Amino acid sequence: MPIVHTELTKLDNSAGFPTLQVKDLHFAYPDGHEALHGVSLHVAPGEKVALVGPNGAGKSTLMLHLNGILSGGGGEVRVAGLKVEKQNLPLIRSKVGLVFQNPDDQLFSPTVFDDVAFGPLHMGLPEAEVRERVMRALAHVGMSGFEERLSHHLSIGQKKRISIATVLSMDPEILVLDEPSAGLDPRARRSLISLLRDLPLTMLVSTHDMFLVHELFPRTVIMDGGEVVADGETAVLLSDDALLERHGLESPTRMLAML
């Protein structure tokens, strides 16, 4: 069953802002394709939220807006009260730990150490602190001792864990993961689930893995066609077969019943 972490590690968000406020976000890609039509979303500190929806729903596009990689289509994003705009980007990017779907995109340095150190180093932290954060992040994902390993020699499950460590080392306010369980074998997937369960962080995770949603996330947001079409308690949404059917999703309980 999903668990909710009530105490959070270090949140300098004392004013009580939501971790994430997305208001009426629009976006069209340069080729004219409109990927977001007015998306609004609030995530409170400590919440773990699943983002589901068919391919092309706009999940990845939304995520790229959360740290200002994409912008300019209208609407507003705030992270812990701070507006995502040019002069805030360095701070915002250290607050939003965005992990891309493909670990080969996320891990671009020759060694694991270099990759996990990349974030803190570019945040301008002193070397001793960078070193300490790398060790802490690797310990968090159970990959201590892999510092000197070359990224291209790792298994995909290991790459996934290191990918998460590369943003944990930045000490983010919110962890944003794009389809983290895609391509993992059952064992790697299990260990990813227990890792995410144990991380005491606010999370927004996009996925097609409805069992993952069912096990980990108290709240689910469904996107389709560039809009949020449902937002609520996971248990409620997942029992609404008509809703799931309409948006090309599978109900995990029904799938189990069919077995």
Partner 1 sequence: MHVSTFDRYEQRSSAVHQLDPRVKVVLTLLFIVSNVALPDGAWWAFAAGWALLLLVNRAAHFSFGYLFKRSFIALPFALAAVTVLFTLPGTAVASWQIGSHTLTVSDAGLMRFASILIRSWLSVQMAILLTATTQFPDLMHALHHLRVPQVLVSIISFMYRYLFVLADEVIRLLRARDARSARLTTDGKLGGTIWWRAKVTGSMAGQLFVRSFDRSDRVYNAMLSRGYRGHLLTMNPHVMNGRDWLMAGVGTAVLVIIQLLGWLT
Ligand X SMILES: Nc1ncnc2c1ncn2[C@@H]1O[C@H](COP(=O)(O)OP(=O)(O)O)[C@@H](O)[C@H]1O
Interface contacts to ligand X, rule CB under 6 A = 29, 31, 33, 35, 53, 55-61
Residue 60 makes contact with Mg ion by CB under 5 A? yes
Q: How far is CA 170 from the centre of its chain?
A: 14
Neighbour-count burial for 172-189, b at 16+ CB within 10 Å, e otherwise: bbbbbbbbbbeebeeebb
User: Which of Mg ion, ligand X, partner 1, none sits in contact with 61, Cβ below 5 to 8 A by type?
Assistant: ligand X
Task: Mark out the alpha helices in 176-221 (DSSP H runs).
Answer: 186-198, 210-216
Instruction: Return the number of the residue (71 or 207) whose C-beta is nearest Mg ion.
Output: 207
Region of 56-64, 119-127, 143-151, 221-229 interacting with Mg ion (CB under 5 A): 56-64
Residue 169 near residue 192, CB atoms below 8 Å:
no
> What whole-number distance in Å separates Cα of residue 41 and Cα of residue 110?
37
Kindly state the tokens that stand for 244. 């799931």
* Per-residue x/- track, 118-147, partner 1 (CB under 8 A): xx-xxx---x--xx----------------
Kindly state the tokens that stand for 88. 């805030």
Kindly state the tokens that stand for 183. 């391509």
Cβ 65 to ligand X shortest distance, Å: 10
Residue 157 makes contact with partner 1 by CB under 8 A? no
The footprint of partner 1 (CB under 8 A) covers: 64, 67, 69, 90, 93-94, 96, 98, 100, 102, 104-106, 108-111, 114, 117-119, 121-123, 127, 130-131, 148, 150-153, 166-167, 170
